Amino acid sequence: MENMRKSRVLEKLRAGKVATCFKLNMSGVEVAEIAAMSGFDCLWTDREHVVQSWSDIKAQNLAAKAYGADTMVRVSRGPYSDLIKPLEIDATGILVPHVMSLEDAKNIVHYTRFHPVGRRPIDGGNADGAYCLLDFDKYLQQANEQRFVVLQIEDPEPLKDLEAIAALPGFDMLFFGPADFSQGIGTPGDFSNPLLIETRRRVAEMAHKYGSSQPPQAA
């Protein structure tokens, strides 16, 4: 095996196209297979809110791969291993919830990108490295180029750093979470709150302003 499989989502986004995503709130592999068969570019599975084991996610990821779809895992916020385990089972991307500051975002990049962008712990003997069949240097390079990191802004605390977070090299997408944001500003469930609407707009503007079609580079 000479190359890591390419991300369908990144290929579309880098071409200026829209990528579609289907959220799985069930652990059954059949739902993942049906969604992948239906043509979605990405399946979103979850370790933050949904009781899914690593075995569940591995099975869903294999179902997605069988139809050429990406898998994005929303991770738990714990040790750095929570960030990299989805990548090592060959999920195509991770979604990191509750990014609270620029420093937090920098730490996420540090642990999810290989040199020269970050210092992600190296194994290479798992599914993403084709169980050591992928050349070591290509593994590091292609993992940086073909795997995506999404930062979720869903609290008022990171707003002071929002533009600096958006400008940070090494991640691929910003994602706004309105429900937790509404709770964070003291109006849970009020999606018509002017501050929520304005923040959603600002996140989109920052994403467009600093979005890039290029793979992540070192700062």
Residue 208 known to be catalytic: no
> What is the rounded distance in angstroms from the CA atom of residue 18 to the CA atom of residue 37?
18
Residue 31 structure tokens: 């739902």
> What is the rounded distance in angstroms from the CA atom of residue 36 to the CA atom of residue 43?
7
Select from 218, 213, 177, 217 the least CA-distant residue to 9. 213
Residue 204, number of CB atoms within 10 A of its CB: 12
The conformation of residue 89, written as its DSSP 8-state character, comes to T
Residue 43 structure tokens: 């399946």
Angle at 151 between CA 17 and CA 192, to 5 degrees: 85
Active-site option among 49, 98, 110, 115: 49
Q: Strands (DSSP E) along the chain, which ranges?
A: 21-23, 42-46, 70-74, 93-96, 148-153, 173-176
Residue 77 structure tokens: 């916020």
Maximum distance among all alpha carbons in the chain? 53
Select from 180, 178, 158, 168 the least CA-distant residue to 207. 168
Q: Tell me which residues are annotated as active site.
A: 49
